[in-house]
Amino acid sequence: MTATGAQAADAVPAGSSGNGAAPGGGTAGTAGGPATAPPSDNTATGAISHDEAARRWRLVLGRYAAEKLEVGSGDQRLDSTLGYLYDREYQARGHAAGRGGKGRGGPGSLDGSQPHGVDLTALGWLGEARSLFPRETFERMQVEAVGRYGLTELLRDPATVEAMEPSRELATALLQVRGKLDDSMAAGVRRVIERVVEDVVRRLKPRFLTAMGGRVDRSRRSMHKVARNFDWKRTLRANLGRVDGSGRMMIQDVRFNARQKRALTWDVIVLVDQSGSMAASLLYSAVCAGILSGLPGIEVRLVLFDTSVVDMSHLAHDPVGVLLTAQLGGGTDIAKAVRFAEQQVRNPSRTVVALVSDFYEGGSVSELLAAVKRLRSSGVTLLGLAALDESAEPIYDQGTARHLAEAGMEVAALTPERFAEWLGEVLS
């Protein structure tokens, strides 16, 4: 009986030599990587010994294997760190504690035995896990600690919160369990989400600034010498007389294009599905709306929906406020959200409606398609985003997506970076 798949894959500490066999016949890759075929029983191919295989099985199985497999002296810290988190799996399944002595914990307790000098409070566990595992594995263990095992004491202590590694996955897990947390964790949740949002904004904002920098004006030269304004065709023509005998061109006159600023304001209406499966998309949508709100010439309306529609435009500039206000879960009525957007249109030819959803419509598909057709015929530009996270591997209702495309909505699976580029093309 294994604790979890993650424990099985990641039981090898950072710094171990090679990729030894993990339970299930695969190999435990570093940083939580995917399992691969086991090596053959040959030293030249990196096959592991019987003792090493037993060691790994012991780390995976935990204290339930204590009577048959002992923990080596060098694995005490690793065993206790794994046990602090993954023994909770046994507890959740209703298993009683096994006999003490060789394994983790003792009769009537699921608390792990602690080697000398090891602090397995929440903060101590966090430090141990960070030092023993590669970063990607550590990040995944944080997510499971909060999202799967309810290790919410991590969020009560400010020092522990600062020690956590901010990641999209961690923020997503917090958004999904936020409604179950008490007030003592509110500050911790806010701080983690703030750190994740800051990181995402730092990465995405330059892409939006570049994409929204105005339309290229090739009739005028620019004194603003930046890469995005570089005019390679004019530069080549201007330096044709500087080609040496070997065919190399000496570039002395570098040309740049000017950019026309948008004279008219665009309305960008972002409709975000906040059903339970959309946490990651909600995170990126809130950040994108926040960035857009700070750009000149763009008016942003941010709307969250499930079976109800909530206008969050007053918080569009504050992604953290949006995320802490959103209520993930419930059904989905896309038609209602699109009809709401229809009522907000002031100048159809200067309006973009971006729908972020998995397209699993719980309302009327025919009403949804009718609203999309009306918007399209009026001149509104429509984009359906099947995903708005970094993986760009969405799971969505392909039938509804196809019908939306036929009704005039451009449907795509875009990363946030590509969404910025698409929006820049539309608004140019």
Helix (H, G, I), strand (E, B) or coil at 63: helix
Of 131, 102, 129, 113, the closest CA to residue 6 belongs to 129
Domain ranges, ordered by start, for the chain = 5-120, 222-240+254-260, 266-427
Residues 46-68, buried b or exposed e (16+ Cβ, 10 A)?
ebbeeebbbbbbbbbbbbbbbee
Give, in order, the Cα–Cα distances in Å from 215 to each of 15, 228, 250, 263. Answer: 51, 11, 30, 11
What is the chain's length?
428
And the tokens for 203?
Answer: 């990465």
Averaged pLDDT for residues 20-29? 31
pLDDT given at position 257: 62
Band of pLDDT at residue 140, cut at 50, 70 and 90: confident
Q: What is the pLDDT of residue 18?
A: 29
The mean pLDDT value of the chain amounts to 76
Q: Which pLDDT belongs to residue 87?
A: 80
For residue range 249-281, what is the model confidence (pLDDT) as tens digits? Answer: 787 777 766 555 444 689 999 999 998 778 888
The amino acid at residue 69 is L
Burial classification of residue 41, based on how many CB atoms lie within 10 Å of its CB (0-12 exposed, 13-18 middle, 19 or more buried): exposed
- Can you give the pLDDT at residue 154? 82
Amino acid at position 357, single letter: S
Residue 401, pLDDT above cutoff 90? yes
How much is the pLDDT for 372?
A: 97
Please tell me the predicted confidence (pLDDT) of residue 388.
59
- 58 touches 70 (CB < 8 A): yes
- Kindly state the percentage of the chain with pLDDT values over 90: 30
Residues ≥6 apart with Cβ < 8 Å to 414:
385, 387, 388, 392, 422
| Res 232: pLDDT | 67
For residues 103 and 384, which has the higher predicted lDDT (pLDDT)? 384
Split at pLDDT 50, 70, 90, the class of 152 is confident
Q: What pLDDT does residue 12 have?
A: 43
Contact 293, 244 (CB under 8 A): no
Confidence of residue 300 (pLDDT cuts 50, 70, 90): very high
Cα dihedral sign for 388, 393, 396, 398?
positive
DSSP for 117-156?
Answer: T---SHHHHHHHHHHHS-HHHHHHHHHHHHHTS--GGGGT
- Banded model confidence at residue 124, pLDDT cuts 50, 70, 90: confident
Which residue in this structure is represented by tokens 């500050």? Answer: 187
- What's the whole-model pTM score? 0.67
Label residue 149 by pLDDT band (50, 70, 90): confident
Predicted pLDDT of residue 195: 93
* 89-99 per-position pLDDT tens digit: 776 676 655 44
266-427: CATH number: 3.40.50.410
Q: Where does the pLDDT of residue 387 fall: very low under 50, low under 70, confident under 90, or very high at 90 and above?
A: low
Vertex 203 angle, CA 216 and 165, to 5°? 175
Q: How many angstroms separate the CA atoms of 144 and 169, rounded?
A: 10
Asked whether residue 221 carries a pLDDT value surpassing 80, the answer given is no
Q: How far is Cα 49 from Cα 43, in angstroms, rounded to an integer?
A: 9
Residue 424: is its pLDDT beyond 80?
yes
Model pLDDT, residue 67? 76
Name the residue with higher pLDDT: 370 or 114: 370
Q: Which tokens belong to 238?
A: 């201007």
Q: What pLDDT does 83 receive?
A: 83
Q: Name the E strands within 188-308.
A: 215-221, 257-260, 266-273, 298-305
More confident residue, 27 or 85: 85
Q: Which helix (H) or strand (E) holds 295?
A: none
d(CA 361, CA 400) in angstroms, rounded, equals 8
Q: Taking 80 as the threshold, does the pLDDT of residue 344 lie above it?
A: yes
Is residue 278 a contact partner of residue 246, using CB atoms and an 8 Å limit? no
Q: Which of 204-208, 228-232, 239-243 shows the lowest per-residue confidence on average (mean pLDDT)?
A: 228-232
Nearest C-alpha neighbor of 27 from the set 51, 43, 11, 44: 11
